[in-house]
């Protein structure tokens, strides 16, 4: 069984982002970039399926500028076998990204496509579902457990109010939620090995996909600052303030 | 203009998030139809008929729609889509699961988690966990949008008088099958609909300790939430998670107990009207957003708070 995993390079989870002075975008210059945490979980899940003997090959794909080759090397270090970069500018929208992944899937013919449920930069939570729709594949989003057997994936999903389990026929798309697994640390020898694994670069033109978008960003501004409040000295004072000042409890 | 909203429901009750989405639709303007797709969901359609601002309720009631699987519901929406300029769903796990398929099949973008309507083609949405706010304009012929409930005050659930239209399309999904579900059973309000939320973080120390929040929550009629740190530590299930990767809430009162206030958590609750923080670390970032901060050991302060209420 072959697994295709899509990974995105994003501003590191721990960085507090700043908006550019011209309010056109978020400042990306000299900011630490990392693999999107949900994508890392997706790679880890694929590697575990390979270690269990369920999967035989893992291909990772990333879309973006040259820097995302680093992200692909991270995925290769985690245990993916080979990588495809589709070179574009920053900020390609989800639909175009989905179309590019679909083109890769049409050549690679994976049995399972695993992706993160959302990227922590654009917070869209849509690319996996779009890939599934365009390939007319079933999907299981927000996965917290994946079991593959008998040509289907049984996936437990994190939904509002609890958990839901679906059985989807392969080939299919799964998107990861944070409790699916805890990605391993990459050991030094694996970093060295990852450098030697195959990585090919393609362009949207070669794949015949237009990445133009009908959505334009008019402005990006910082959120309204919340005014800090006061410290209270005791529980009694807190209750008194909530009753008489804030009037949020009776 | 003409807007289609996909109703959030559990086959018995229309969920409040639908009313917030209706409020967003009202701001866009035009006729608003609400699609109720499910099984044995007549009662939901009746509730939707009464909601404020609805022109027509479209009811697709069939066993194949019982679990609102994304594969077939998206295709049903596509069949209806040509009549609409906007297709909206609440940004719940159901809406987030299904609506991107609609957008992809229509070959248009989806705008996720919209918190403000500027005009019929321009919308505001948070990015980077709410650390930046983007205003985006779309020239797509059909605008596909999920609505974040906390951005819009709900319309009234009563007083409307929409026309009820029954749909006959039956679209089966051969490739996806419901196996089971485990839904949390609780007498408390749902997190995203609660007026008061009491949340615990890593400082709670264990899942057992979380129970001390129950007494306060019960006295306040509050929902119980948690930070990602508490979920990651295995104290509580993920559906309690408030934050960038969990739920976004904006109750009248949010009580953060033993929560340090990581930016990813603040992203999910900083629009709350009043924030209370109880933490023994007076340097904790949560105090920078709290209206009322209490520097105290939560294991003493929480029981004391329960008694004082």
Instruction: Report A:190-229 residues touching B (Cβ under 8 A).
Output: 213-223, 226, 228-229
CA-nearest of A113, A171, A174, A102 to B70 is A174
Sign for the pseudo-dihedral over CA of A135, A136, A138, A141:
positive
Report how far apart, in Å, the C-alpha atoms of B141 and of each of A8, A226, B1, B110 are: 29, 37, 11, 12
Question: In A52-126, which residue ranges form alpha helices assigned H by DSSP?
Answer: 68-78, 94-108
**Residue B306 clears pLDDT 80, i.e. is over it:** yes
In angstroms, the separation between the Cα of residue A31 and the nearest Cα of chain B is 14
Question: Which of A133, A154, A245 is best to mutate for the B interface (most B CBs within 10 A)?
Answer: A133
Q: How far apart are CA B88 and CA B141, in angstroms?
A: 14
Instruction: Find the mean pLDDT for residues A108-136.
Output: 97
- Put simply, the answer to whether B100 touches A160 (Cβ < 8 Å) is no
Q: What contacts B94, CB < 8 A, 6 or more positions away? A: A159, A160, B8, B68
Report how far apart, in Å, the C-alpha atoms of B15 and of each of B86, B191, B193 are: 21, 12, 9
User: H or E stretch including B76?
Assistant: helix B70-80
- Put simply, the answer to whether A239 touches B122 (Cβ < 8 Å) is no
Mean pLDDT taken over chain A: 96
What is the pLDDT confidence band of residue B245, given thresholds at 50, 70 and 90?
A: confident
With an 8 Å Cβ cutoff, is A133 touching chain B? yes
Q: How far apart are CA B227 and CA B254, in angstroms?
A: 12
- Put simply, the answer to whether A95 touches B103 (Cβ < 8 Å) is yes
What is residue B26's predicted lDDT score, i.e. its pLDDT?
Answer: 97
Instruction: Find the mean pLDDT for residues A129-146.
Output: 98
Model confidence over B110-122: pLDDT tens digits?
999 999 999 999 9
Structure tokens at B99: 């609506």
CA-nearest of A5, A145, A184, A123 to B245 is A123
Q: What contacts B113, CB < 8 A, 6 or more positions away? A: A123, B91, B125, B126, B146, B147, B148, B248
Mean pLDDT taken over chain B: 95
Model confidence over B268-284: pLDDT tens digits?
999 899 999 999 999 99
**Residue A169 clears pLDDT 80, i.e. is over it:** yes
Q: Which residue of B has its CA nearest to A175?
A: B97
Structure tokens at A97: 């990204």
**Residue B192 clears pLDDT 90, i.e. is over it:** no
CA-nearest of A17, A56, A9 to A33 is A9
- Put simply, the answer to whether A95 touches B126 (Cβ < 8 Å) is no
**Cβ contacts of A38 on chain B, cutoff 8 Å:** 245
Q: What contacts A90, CB < 8 A, 6 or more positions away? A: A28, A64, A65
Structure tokens at A178: 């944070």
Task: Locate the DSSP E strands across chain A.
Answer: 2-7, 9-11, 33-35, 57-64, 82-87, 112-116, 139-149, 152-159, 162-169, 172-176, 199-202, 215-221, 230-232
- Put simply, the answer to whether A95 touches B104 (Cβ < 8 Å) is yes
Question: Which of A19, A214, A227, A236 is best to mutate for the B interface (most B CBs within 10 A)?
Answer: A214
What is residue B163's predicted lDDT score, i.e. its pLDDT?
Answer: 98
Model confidence over A182-231: pLDDT tens digits?
999 999 999 999 999 999 999 999 999 999 999 999 999 999 888 778 99
Q: Which residue of A has its CA nearest to B275?
A: A229
What is the pLDDT confidence band of residue A16, given thresholds at 50, 70 and 90?
A: confident
With an 8 Å Cβ cutoff, is A45 touching chain B? no
**Residue B48 clears pLDDT 80, i.e. is over it:** yes
**Residue B186 clears pLDDT 80, i.e. is over it:** no
What is residue A40's predicted lDDT score, i.e. its pLDDT?
Answer: 98
Q: How far apart are CA A120 and CA B263, in angstroms?
A: 12
- Put simply, the answer to whether A160 touches B111 (Cβ < 8 Å) is no
**Rounded percentage of chain B residues whose pLDDT exceeds 90:** 89
**Residue B189 clears pLDDT 90, i.e. is over it:** no
In angstroms, the separation between the Cα of residue B52 and the nearest Cα of chain A is 25
Q: Which residue of B has its CA nearest to A13?
A: B264
Q: Which residue of B has its CA nearest to A177?
A: B245
Q: Which residue of A has its CA nearest to B225?
A: A161
- Put simply, the answer to whether B293 touches A121 (Cβ < 8 Å) is no
Report how far apart, in Å, the C-alpha atoms of A210 and of each of A36, A66, A98 are: 24, 19, 12
Q: Which candidate from B131, B177, B192 shows the least CB-CB separation from A17?
A: B131
- Put simply, the answer to whether B180 touches A164 (Cβ < 8 Å) is yes
Task: Kindly report the length of chain B.
Answer: 309
Q: Which residue of A has its CA nearest to B72?
A: A138
**Residue B291 clears pLDDT 80, i.e. is over it:** yes
- Put simply, the answer to whether A129 touches B239 (Cβ < 8 Å) is no
With an 8 Å Cβ cutoff, is B220 touching chain A? yes
User: H or E stretch including B90?
Assistant: strand B86-90
Give me the residue label for tokens 């998670």: B241
User: H or E stretch including B196?
Assistant: strand B196-200
The interface predicted TM-score (ipTM) is: 0.94
Task: Tally C-beta pairs within 8 A across A and B.
Answer: 257
**Residue B230 clears pLDDT 90, i.e. is over it:** yes
């Amino acid at each position: 069984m072959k697994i295709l995993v899509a990974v995105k390079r994003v501003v590191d989870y721990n960085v507090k982002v700043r908006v550019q002075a011209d309010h056109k975008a978020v400042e990306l210059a000299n900011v630490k970039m990392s693999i999107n945490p949900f994508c890392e979980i997706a790679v880890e899940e694929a590697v575990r399926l390979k270690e269990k003997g369920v999967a035989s090959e893992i291909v990772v794909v990333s879309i973006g500028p040259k820097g995302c080759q680093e992200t692909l090397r991270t995925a290769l270090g985690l245990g993916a076998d080979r990588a495809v970069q589709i070179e574009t500018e920053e900020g390609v929208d989800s639909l175009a990204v989905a179309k590019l992944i679909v083109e890769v899937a049409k050549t690679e013919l994976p049995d399972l496509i695993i992706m993160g449920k959302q990227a922590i930069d654009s917070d869209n939570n849509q690319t996996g579902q779009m890939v599934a729709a365009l390939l007319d594949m079933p999907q299981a989003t927000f996965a917290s457990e994946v079991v593959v057997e008998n040509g289907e994936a049984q996936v437990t999903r994190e939904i509002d109010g609890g958990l839901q389990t679906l059985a989807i026929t392969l080939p299919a798309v799964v998107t990861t939620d944070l409790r699916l697994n805890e990605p391993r640390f990459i050991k030094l020898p694996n970093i060295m090995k990852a450098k030697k694994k195959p990585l090919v670069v393609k362009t949207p033109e070669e794949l015949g996909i237009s990445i133009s978008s009908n959505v334009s960003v008019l402005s990006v501004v910082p959120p309204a600052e919340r005014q800090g409040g006061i410290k209270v000295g005791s529980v009694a004072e807190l209750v008194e303030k909530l009753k008489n000042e804030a009037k949020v409890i009776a | 203009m003409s807007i289609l909203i996909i109703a959030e429901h559990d086959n018995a009750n229309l969920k409040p998030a639908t009313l917030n989405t209706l409020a967003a639709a009202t701001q866009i303007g035009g006729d608003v139809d609400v699609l109720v797709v499910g099984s044995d969901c007549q009662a939901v359609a009746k509730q939707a008929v009464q909601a404020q601002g609805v022109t027509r309720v479209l009811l697709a009631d069939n066993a194949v729609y019982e679990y609102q699987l994304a594969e077939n519901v998206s295709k049903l929406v596509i069949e209806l889509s040509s009549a609409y300029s906007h297709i909206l769903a609440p940004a719940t796990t159901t809406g987030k699961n299904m609506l991107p398929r609609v957008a992809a099949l229509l070959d248009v973008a989806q705008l996720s988690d919209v918190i403000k309507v500027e005009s019929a083609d321009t919308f505001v949405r948070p990015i980077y966990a709410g650390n930046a706010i983007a205003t985006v304009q779309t020239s797509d012929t059909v605008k596909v949008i999920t609505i974040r409930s906390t951005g819009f005050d709900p319309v009234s659930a009563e007083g409307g008088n929409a026309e009820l239209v029954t749909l006959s399309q039956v679209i089966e999904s051969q490739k996806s099958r419901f196996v089971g579900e485990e839904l949390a059973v609780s007498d408390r309000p749902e997190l995203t609909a609660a007026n008061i939320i009491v949340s615990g973080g890593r400082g709670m120390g264990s899942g057992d300790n979380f129970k001390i929040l129950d007494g306060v929550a019960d006295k306040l009629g509050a929902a119980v939430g948690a930070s990602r740190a508490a979920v990651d530590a295995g104290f509580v299930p993920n559906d309690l998670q408030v934050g960038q990767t969990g739920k976004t809430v904006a109750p009248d009162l949010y009580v953060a107990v033993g929560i340090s206030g990581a930016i990813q958590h603040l992203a999910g609750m900083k629009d709350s009207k009043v924030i209370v923080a109880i933490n023994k670390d007076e340097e904790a970032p949560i105090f920078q957003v709290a209206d009322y901060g209490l520097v105290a050991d939560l294991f003493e302060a929480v029981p004391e708070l329960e008694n004082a209420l």
